[in-house]
Amino acid sequence: MCTTCGCGSGEITIEGTPAQGDRAHVHAHGDHHQDESPAHGRIVSLEQEVLAKNQLFAERNRGWLEGRGVLAVNMMSSSGAGKTTIIERTIREWGGGVPISVLEGDQATSADADRVRAAGAAAVQINTGAGCHLDAHMVAHGLERLRPPRDSVLLIENVGNLVCPALFDLGERARVVVTSVTEGDDKPLKYPHMFGAADLLLLNKIDLLPFVRFDIDRLTQSAREVNPRLKILPVSAQTAEGIVDWYRWLSAQRVCD
């Protein structure tokens, strides 16, 4: 079990192959957990060690990506918010010749990677087993397999979870959190670390606003309370409403690079 977030230590696979070696997973496991009861400080110390080790690999990933002019975007959300549908639409409609590749994070199956490939992009599936988030080690393994081309865009679809992915830097250039109107307008205050760590909030499924109880002003106010610099874009991955603003944001990030 991970000392940082409590997720399990199931086998991690890259495209169905077990991840091997010291880069396979950043979590601390095993005997470290035997001394938890007398020393809360020891647990905190282990958490710091885990995050420090992750940060080391994140910086290596960042250097590798920046050296090749690859814009890496970490896309996070709860399960079912619509990340994969947004990614599919982005692959089909945006880019202007800019190659897009995807690292797909899920506990099991290759369903989302299959959808991404069908949309026309290269993808590598990372299965985390019982783990509830990607970390920089996993991404390093995924990059070895994916090898995104120079001057391209890499979308990293994290495991569906509004808690733990916010803690782990993957080496990305920007962070996007996707939430949907069907989830309620209270999520920024309930999950402040996620929304506080994000550069952009995509509010998805706005085509369903007539059918749900959702206050965009309340969401905006609470999100800005958590993160005053957060940019918020209402979109619908199904109808394409507002989606061009997402494409403009991506284009601006490439210019910033």
Domains (range + CATH), the chain:
24-256 (3.40.50.300)
Lowest mean pLDDT: which of 39-53, 107-121, 176-190?
A: 39-53
Residue at 34: amino acid letter: Q
DSSP 11-51: PPEETTEEP-STTS-----GGGGGGTTT-HHHHHHHHHHHH
Q: Residue 19 contacts by C-beta under 8 Å, 6 or more apart in sequence?
A: 12, 13, 25, 137, 138, 141
Angle, helices 83-93/243-256, rounded to nearest 10 degrees:
70
What tens digit of pLDDT does each residue of 206-257 get?
A: 999 999 999 999 999 999 999 999 999 999 999 999 999 999 999 999 987 5
3-state secondary structure of 167: helix
Q: Which pLDDT tens digit goes with each residue over 127-155? A: 999 999 999 999 999 999 999 999 999 99
Do β-strands 153-157 and 100-106 pair in parallel, antiparallel, or remain unpaired?
parallel
